[in-house]
Structure 1
Amino acid sequence: MPLTTVAIEISNGKMETLYYPSSVVKDFFQVDQQLKFLEFVELALNSLKESDKRVTAKYGYPCIGCAILKQRLIKWEQLYKYETVKIVKIHEFIY
């Protein structure tokens, strides 16, 4: 499965990179897209759900990376709820 990274910039100046085990995240985000942080988290969690489904279907067990990123997003939800997010880059690694 292709690893896909999503680089984001939060309106407070913080930059982060999110790692997805599937390219399905490209169905949820576009480069230069700007969102309220809570809207971003909702879409990110939905894309994680889809990624996890694909991993489970292919390998027979859920993706630990999805679970870790989900917890990270839930923590950020409270920290950055009044911020906005810009999708800076989406990169798919095919191996």
Structure 2
Amino acid sequence: MPEMTVTVRWPDGRVAECYSPSLVMHDHLQVGSTYRVDDFVKRASVALGEASERVRVKYGFTCSASAASRERIERSAAAFAPHDSVEVLDMQPTLEGS
């Protein structure tokens, strides 16, 4: 199962990488896009939940690293107002054709 990282810039300028055990993040986020903090958390949480479920289907257990990524995102987001902006800087690996 291909792993990926999503690099984001939080409203305070801090850059962070978020891990996903699946490329499903591409279905929910787009490089170069800016999202409200609350929307970013929702999108990332849904994507990481789907990624963890894909791991469960393939290997028989959910992905603890996916849950840890979700917790880090939620903890980071708590420092900002819901309407502040998070920018998606990069997603690796990219999808073919993008």
Normalised by the size of structure 1, how large is the TM-score?
A: 0.91
**Cα root mean square deviation, aligned:** 1.4
The match for 2:48 is 48
Deviates more, 1:36-45 or 1:65-74: 65-74
Quote the Cα distance in structure 2 between the aligned partners of 1:61 and 1:78: 29
CA deviation string 1:13-71 (max 9, x = no partner):
11000010000110001111101111100000000110011000000001010111121
1:35 aligns with 2:38: no
Supply the AA of the counterpart residue of 2:87. Answer: K
Calculate percent identity across the aligned residue pairs.
28
Report the structure, 1 or 2, having the larger strand content: 1
Amino acid in the other structure paired with 1:72: R
How many residue pairs get aligned? The number is 93
Relative contact order, CA 8 A, sep 6+: which one is greater?
A: 1
CA distance in 2, matches of 1:80, 1:56: 32
SS of the aligned residue for 1:79 comes to: coil
Structure 1, unaligned runs of 5 or more: none
